[in-house]
């Protein structure tokens, strides 16, 4: 009886193991690019709420997040769990950053990108030329089964990615931007999450009364028409190509600035070219994963900026030439 009882208790464990192995094997048969396609759809369509830990600039912060999509309109609320009580409220393409300690609200225009996942790769990346993508193994994140997808660059001109995608939905439960040394530069990781949940619209309202706060409207950047420009890089890192060139009126600047966007399909670098004034410093600067480099060339200030290694923006900025 005793042996029989032990065997009867073991069956559920063995069965669960077999089911898990079967599900893992099935997940591994999905092509890496298909994982990325599913991930892009999940980020755009999934409603969720939970607690996320974001690591940036060597600091970690915990955020409560609620996100829902209705009629193609994104509504989102992020609340800092420590510090000054920052709240970020998004409704469509308008974002309110509420700073209770300063009694102020910063109003900004936002793109269609996710507030949390603004630089995720897609299946359109030209893997095999500048990057390799592979399925590494199954792990657990926030109590859910996740497939680890690794994107590795072929050189030091771009960053890599590690993505932990929910096995059932391909939603990114954890993402890391990886430097040339293999260390994570930035990370977003859910400590707990509920996917596909219904969120009461009232829960997306600010938790503090902002009626007496000072409202600050961030200047909107005016994007002009596409232009033909003679400016080009004489030594563009391999894989990067020109995506667009615009004449833009940037906040705080006089006249029109030429904006050239370069991309390798995943990493993007913006180059801004403006007539030289007495303002501004040359050289490099860094904020988190974003690097920039400014140089004076042919009577113009040339600044390259992007979420790429410092080597990349320096090479592009210093090799820009007018035809």
User: For 129-138, 212-221, 229-238, which range has the lowest pLDDT when averaged over its residues?
Assistant: 212-221
250 confidence band (pLDDT: 50, 70, 90): low
Please tell me the predicted confidence (pLDDT) of residue 323.
Answer: 78
Please tell me the predicted confidence (pLDDT) of residue 223.
Answer: 56
Q: Give, in words, the CATH class of 222-322.
A: alpha beta
Fold match between domain 19-216 and domain 222-322: no
Percent of the chain with pLDDT over 90: 51
Please tell me the predicted confidence (pLDDT) of residue 5.
Answer: 46
**Where do the structural domains in the chain lie, given as residue ranges?**
19-216, 222-322
Q: Give, in words, the CATH class of 19-216.
A: mainly beta
Q: Model-level pTM?
A: 0.81
Please tell me the predicted confidence (pLDDT) of residue 29.
Answer: 67
Average pLDDT value for the chain = 84
pLDDT tens digits, one per residue of 110-165: 766 667 776 777 656 665 678 999 999 999 999 999 999 999 999 999 999 999 99
- Are residues 260 and 227 in contact, defined by beta-carbon separation less than 8 angstroms? no
Interatomic CA distance for residues 219 and 221, integer angstroms: 6
- Residue count of the chain: 323
Please tell me the predicted confidence (pLDDT) of residue 275.
Answer: 86
Please tell me the predicted confidence (pLDDT) of residue 189.
Answer: 95
pLDDT exceeds cutoff 70 at 222: no
Return the top range by mean pLDDT from 6-15, 29-38, 107-116. 29-38
- Are residues 237 and 316 in contact, defined by beta-carbon separation less than 8 angstroms? yes
Mean pLDDT over 82-102 rounds to 90
Interatomic CA distance for residues 201 and 45, integer angstroms: 17
């Amino acid at each position: 009886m005793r042996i029989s009882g032990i065997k009867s208790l073991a069956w559920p464990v063995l069965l669960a193991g077999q089911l898990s192995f079967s599900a893992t094997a099935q997940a591994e048969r999905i092509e890496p690019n298909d994982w990325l396609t599913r991930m892009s759809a999940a980020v755009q369509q999934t409603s969720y709420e939970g607690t996320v830990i974001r690591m940036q600039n060597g600091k970690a912060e915990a955020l409560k997040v609620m996100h829902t999509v209705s009629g193609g309109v994104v509504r989102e609320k992020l609340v800092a769990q420590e510090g000054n009580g920052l709240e970020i409220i998004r409704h469509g393409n308008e974002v309110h950053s509420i700073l209770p300690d300063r009694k102020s609200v910063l109003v900004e225009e936002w793109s269609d990108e996710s507030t949390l996942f603004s630089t995720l790769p897609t299946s359109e990346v030209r893997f095999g030329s500048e990057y390799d993508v592979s399925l590494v193994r199954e792990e657990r994140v926030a109590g859910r089964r996740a497939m680890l997808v690794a994107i590795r660059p072929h050189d030091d001109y771009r960053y890599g990615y590690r993505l932990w995608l929910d096995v059932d939905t391909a939603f990114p439960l954890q993402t890391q931007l990886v430097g040339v040394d293999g260390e994570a530069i930035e990370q977003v990781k859910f400590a707990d999450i509920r996917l596909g949940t219904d969120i009461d619209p009232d829960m997306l309202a600010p938790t503090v009364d902002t009626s007496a706060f000072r409202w600050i409207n961030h200047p909107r950047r005016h994007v002009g028409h596409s232009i033909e420009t003679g400016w080009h890089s004489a030594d563009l890192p391999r894989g990067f190509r020109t995506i667009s060139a615009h004449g833009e009126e940037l906040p705080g600047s006089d006249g029109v600035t030429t904006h050239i966007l370069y991309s390798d399909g995943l990493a993007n670098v913006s180059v801004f070219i403006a007539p030289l004034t007495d303002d501004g410093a040359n050289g490099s600067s860094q904020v988190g994963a974003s690097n920039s480099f400014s140089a004076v060339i042919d009577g113009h200030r040339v600044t390259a900026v992007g979420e790429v290694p410092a080597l990349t923006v320096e090479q592009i900025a210093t090799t820009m030439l007018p035809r």
